[in-house]
Amino acid sequence: MTVNEMPTPVVTMPRIGDPAPSFTAATTQGDINFPADYLGRWVILFSHPADFTPVCTSEFITFASMQDEFAAYNTDLVGLSVDGLYSHIAWLRTIKEKISYKGMRDVEVTFPLIDDVTMEVARKYGMIMPGEDTTKAVRAVFVIDPEGVVRTIIYYPLSTGRNFDELLRVVKALQTADAFDVATPADWRPGDAVIVPPAGSCGTAQSRMSGDVVGVECQDWFFCTRELPADEVEARIRRR
């Protein structure tokens, strides 16, 4: 087998429940050691295809404008593309000085943007998908918890910008599930009813169905909900 015929190394992307792959990298906010530098906080690690591209520009303006909203839920933002540090700096300066989007203007991006010209980090996280592009990262999102564990993975193609309300909703849902030992149903937002974990025994299921468990409403043994007021959720998960 010649050098040109050597197989491409296979990199297994992290899965939900796996420790976030570690790396050190230069960023627009200095060097970081990930995820060690962020233990104790939630992180959204996200990739974008390239600097000086329009969809990415709209996303960075939106992320930067929502940074304080994410911070209120103990969540940091870390961006990545396979461009170099000087390109990042020039692009972010251009965003602040020239670009407006949906009324957002003069936006300064203060969260780290990783220099990944070698694609080392992008490959560790499965952000390079040859069927989409071999030289650009897709729009990947990894939500990583305070223990450094991957909790959510979302991928978008190059052509489709992300829904940022959904990303914030996911953070709130994950934190609510952890704080109250519940699950969140479709389209859940703080203030909506939550799912009670399935009954662990026939006796518990029977008690729920007979209405003996106060505050729990069951449509069948496996589908039980309870009210969880928004102010109770916010008091537990929102950083004061």
139 is in an annotated binding site: yes
- 173's enclosing H/E stretch is helix 164-180
Look up 224 and say whether it is catalytic: no
* Structure tokens, 125: 């996280």
CB 124 within 8 A of CB 135: no
Question: How much of the chain exceeds pLDDT 90, in percent?
Answer: 76
Evaluate if residue 102 carries a pLDDT over 70.
yes
CB 87 within 8 A of CB 70: no
46 - beta bridge partners? Answer: 79, 141
Q: Which CATH number fits domain 3-166: 3.40.30.10, 3.40.50.720, 3.90.870.40, 3.40.80.10?
A: 3.40.30.10
Overall fold of domain 181-237:
Antioxidant, Horf6; Chain A, domain 2 (3.30.1020)
Average predicted confidence (pLDDT) for the chain: 90
- How sure is the predictor about 153, in pLDDT bands with cuts at 50, 70 and 90? very high
Distance CA 175, CA 185 (A): 14
Distance CA 179, CA 201 (A): 23
Sequence-distant (≥ 6) Cβ neighbours of residue 217 within 8 angstroms: 193, 224, 225, 226
What confidence score (pLDDT) does residue 11 get?
60
Domain ranges of the chain: 3-166, 181-237
What confidence score (pLDDT) does residue 133 get?
74
pLDDT: is 201 or 61 the higher one?
61
63 - beta bridge partners? Answer: none
- How sure is the predictor about 137, in pLDDT bands with cuts at 50, 70 and 90? confident
Q: What is the mean pLDDT of residues 106-120?
A: 95
Evaluate if residue 223 carries a pLDDT over 70.
yes
Active-site hit among 56, 202, 218, 224: 56
- How sure is the predictor about 59, in pLDDT bands with cuts at 50, 70 and 90? very high
